[in-house]
A and B are shown apart, each in its own frame.
Chain A
Amino acid sequence: MPIRTKKRKGVSILHIEGDMTIGTAAALKEELMKHITQSSEREIDLSDVSEMDSAGMQLLMLAKREATRHNTPLRLIGHSRAVLEVMDTYNLAAYFGDPILISRGAKA
């Protein structure tokens, strides 16, 4: 489960690709937490998340909370269809507080 990182104007962007499900959650958590503890403004790009379940969503919630605790802004961007579906069901848009753009190919 690779997380690609790049820097853009002082903002580090974590690009998560593939499934965010219980199968990948443990490995993903470890990697994600490594990044979160570094203090810098960051965005998580979810545009290539192909599948998500509760375990995946929990990770994002954890990341958000940890980031808030460390006083570093964390934004989710490019929510893929799979992410939006979970977020909708759990009514979590307000929890993350990010603007959600309807991504490519996704229907309203």
Chain B
Amino acid sequence: MSANPNQFLQTFIAEAHERLQEMEEILMHLENGPHDAGTIDSLFRAAHTVKGSAGMFRLDSIVSFAHIIEDVLGRMRDSEIEIEGDLVAVLLDSCDHMLHLVEVIAEQGEQLDDAALARENELRKRLKAYQTGNGDAQGTRVSLSAEKDIPLTASGGGEVSSDNWHISLRFAQSVLKEGLDPLYLIRYLSNIGEVISVTTLADAIPAAAEMNAETFYLGFEIDLKSSASKETISEVFEFAHQGSMIHIMPPHSKTTQYIELIRSLPEEEARLGELLVATGTLTQHELEDGLNAQQKSAQPGGTSKLLGEILIDQGSVTQEVVQAALEKQSQAKDTKTKESRFIRVQAGKLDELINLVGELVIAGAGANMLAHLSNNTPLQESTSVISRLVEEIRDSALKLRMVQIGETFNRFNRVVRDVGRELGKDIDLVITGAESELDKTLIEKIGDPLMHLVRNAIDHGIESADKRVALGKPEKGTLRLNAYHDSGSIAIEISDDGAGLNRDKILKKAREIGLIPAGAMPTDQEIYNLIFEAGFSTADTVTNLSGRGVGMDVVRRNIASLRGTVQLDSEPGIGTTVRIRLPLTLAIIDGFRVGVGKSSYVVPLDMVIECVELSEAERQAANERSYLNLRGEVLPFVLLRDHFEVAGANARRENVVVVQYAGKKAGLVVDELMGEFQTVIKPLGKIFSNLRGISGSTILGSGEVALILDVPSLVQQAVARESQQVLRKLPNNTATAR
């Protein structure tokens, strides 16, 4: 290859992955719903693109397999074969195999192992049935060329006698720098037909001094004998369209068209004419005829017609064809602009940027504080401008890492289908909230837990079709994936309409293994969430849960390590919903700083609803009961001074920060409200991992350390304490706090 072969190969690999992913999505779609010609067409195009670009890298084993897929898709497109489950299944398997091929051959540069080869042979056999239909391998080819002949015979006299396509190529000068070598395109032509002749024109190479070694100057006139369609041929040059002049003339084109071509090319007309005669594209007679015809039709002083109009006038192409060509062009332009809207950046670079921004935020806070101490107004003004800018930089840097969750969700289409088939269950996957965004690092880490939960829901949640019918439910099960933003966190829900959890069995089991003391009366919610406990559930005792407990503790641990929580709701006979809550980002948050005694703490600002003063009367009352009266609302609270055992007397005035998490409110009683503060989250060391109520630390402008409050656990604690007080008559209940 050229300059940096590896780089182009990487591009190919990335693109192949995308295309195959796209194919998979379309196939899934085809299986489930109605289709139109457009979807099948894009399926075909995706396969074709993979094949074409693999050809450029001479990855022959990929090309040959992709070719079969393309053939089958071509017949699908031409409605020669019907789309049905088995066909889609074999195509999906073929996509998987393609992916494997790309990984093994292109990425690792190795050959397939025996197992993969056996699989490929099997697939080839299965595809063959669709590829040929009546056992005639040439079927498609023949029909293509027949189709092509019709309009051409209608175009009347003045045709050239040659049976070959004529392809005239003048590539954009930048083509080499863009990583595309026309060499491979021309080589690729031999895959779709027989290259009769290639004439390479060096006329455009300038004098040695002006010649840039990285610019492409060569032009080509090619004769190709092929039964492929014009579309197929032009797709070979699809990548080179921008700024390149590419003319593809079908066999028996009009001589006048050749003359048009000769006129439009940069080289001298006479020379080109001779050249075409020399290669047998035109006969001398045809060339003269064509030139005469041109002269006759040239209107003196009139404006020349557009090429498209001329072609239509001549009846050689129909209006529709021109229209289609124009659409195709604008389509190509669209994808071009879309491409330019994205840049591929290594994730590591982004992480580095975020780290730097984090340091910048801390340093900025320091400067800001010094400025405030200095009593220097202009300095204060400029630092405040800087901190505003830093804030904006922080936000946009974090946004760079935000990714829509949709793509992750879409992967499950396949999982649901495959697992469902395996278990003989017909299941619909309904995805909502796919546009919700969250941090890329989180997306990567949430994949496995989600997979586990989805598999569980299919395997154990949704009943078999017979059972469902017997229960009067629709035969088809439904699995929902939903995502939405909720006070600074993202919630992801996995719900099924299956049997739900068996509350009594779980409770019994929990009592057996001592998770819940005999006599305690946990709420349903608490019971359901027991299945996240490590070691809970074994298949023989909790049959309809089998497997659900296994690994559920791992799911919870994974999610907890992302500072998230997981929660489960279930209703017998109706279904189960698992709700995961995750912070939107792991790095920097807007914090709200509060003081207790001499220490300061940070509350994630997204979770703060309001701040109210704690009046003396209310304080007195609160000592008696475990809640505050917030405008008539019961508000459980936590005294941070007590919680963290801060020494010293109560402050003269206390404030309540009302926070919310997962729909529950609680008040945090603090001494001082210190305002908003950009918080760079620094993880706490392992020794602090048992600390309740703290999720991390941050560094203040003054260099002091402030602890970040773990609002979810504080809220839970407050709510639990409040309900405990209400149920004071009951014995000590160890299962309430999570």
Contact = CB atoms under 8 A, between A and B. Distances in A.
Interface of A: 21-23, 25-26, 28-29, 33, 36, 51, 53-55, 57-59, 61-62, 65-66, 86, 89-92, 95
B202 A65 contact: yes
Contact of A90 (B1, B176, B208, B218): B218
B183 A29 contact: no
Interface string B164-187: 000000000000110001110011
A23 B183 contact: no
B457 to A, nearest CB: 53
Contact of A91 (B182, B199, B212, B216): B199
A29 B206 CA distance: 13
B2 A89 contact: no
Contact of B197 (A59, A91, A95): A91
A62 B183 contact: no
B200 A55 contact: no
Contacts of A89: 183, 186-187, 198
A73 B181 CA distance: 30
A53 B218 CA distance: 12
A21 B214 CA distance: 9
A92 B201 CA distance: 10
A54 B216 contact: yes
Nearest to A51: B1
Given A55-B176, A58-B217, A91 B2 contact: no
A17 B183 CA distance: 21
B2 A62 contact: no
B3 interface: yes
B213 interface: yes
Contacts of B217: 58
Interface size class for chain B? 20 to 34
Contacts of A53: 1-2, 176, 181, 183
Contacts of A26: 212-214
The 9 nearest A-B residue pairs measured at CB? A25-B213, A29-B213, A22-B2, A91-B198, A23-B3, A22-B3, A53-B2, A90-B200, A26-B213
7 contacts: A22-B176, A25-B214, A26-B213, A54-B218, A58-B213, A58-B218, A59-B213
B389 interface: no
A54 B182 CA distance: 7
Contacts of A65: 202, 205
Interface string B136-154: 0000000000000000000
B211 interface: yes
Nearest to B206: A62
Nearest to B171: A54
Most buried by A among B2, B202, B216: B2
A1 to B, nearest CB: 11
Contacts of A91: 197-200
A97 B198 CA distance: 16
B200 A95 contact: yes
Given A23-B4, A58-B218, A90 B211 contact: no
Contacts of B3: 21-23
A61 B2 contact: no
Contact of A55 (B186, B214, B220): B214
A29 B1 contact: no
B2 A21 contact: yes
Contacts of A66: 208
A107 B218 CA distance: 28
A23 B1 CA distance: 10
Interface string B677-706: 000000000000000000000000000000
Contacts of B197: 91
Contacts of B202: 58, 61, 65, 95
B213 A54 contact: no
Contacts of B4: 23
Contacts of B220: 90
Contact of B216 (A28, A58, A92): A58
Nearest to A25: B213
Contact of A22 (B198, B205, B211, B214): B214
Contacts of B183: 53-54, 57, 86, 89-90
B1 A21 contact: yes
B218 A28 contact: no
B208 A55 contact: no
Contacts of B218: 54, 57-58, 61, 90
Contacts of A21: 1-3
A16 to B, nearest CB: 14
A49 to B, nearest CB: 14
B405 to A, nearest CB: 41
Interface string B1-23: 11110000000000000000000
Contact of A61 (B182, B198, B205, B214): B205
Nearest to B205: A62
A17 B107 CA distance: 28
Most buried by B among A58, A61, A62: A58
A73 B687 CA distance: 81
Contacts of A54: 2, 176, 181-183, 216, 218
Contacts of A51: 1
B185 to A, nearest CB: 10
Contacts of A58: 202, 205, 213, 216-218
Contacts of A61: 202, 205, 218
Contacts of B216: 54-55, 58
A75 B187 CA distance: 26
B281 to A, nearest CB: 14
A65 B202 CA distance: 9
Nearest to A27: B213
Given A28-B213, A58-B216, 9 more contacts: A21-B1, A33-B208, A51-B1, A53-B2, A53-B181, A55-B213, A62-B211, A91-B199, A91-B200
A23 B212 CA distance: 13
A55 B205 CA distance: 11
A61 to B, nearest CB: 5
A1 B242 CA distance: 32
B175 to A, nearest CB: 9
Contacts of B1: 21, 51, 53
B211 A29 contact: yes
A89 B710 CA distance: 68
Nearest to A36: B208
A26 B212 CA distance: 7
B699 to A, nearest CB: 47
A68 to B, nearest CB: 11
A65 B212 CA distance: 15
A26 B211 CA distance: 10
Contacts of B186: 89-90
Nearest to B279: A91
A54 B169 CA distance: 14
A29 B202 CA distance: 16
A19 to B, nearest CB: 9
A39 B3 CA distance: 32
Contacts of B200: 90-92, 95
A90 B4 CA distance: 22
B374 to A, nearest CB: 56
Contacts of B187: 89
A103 B247 CA distance: 37
Nearest to A92: B200
B198 A90 contact: yes
A54 B180 CA distance: 10
Nearest to A21: B2
A22 B2 CA distance: 5
Contacts of A59: 213
Contacts of A62: 205, 208, 211
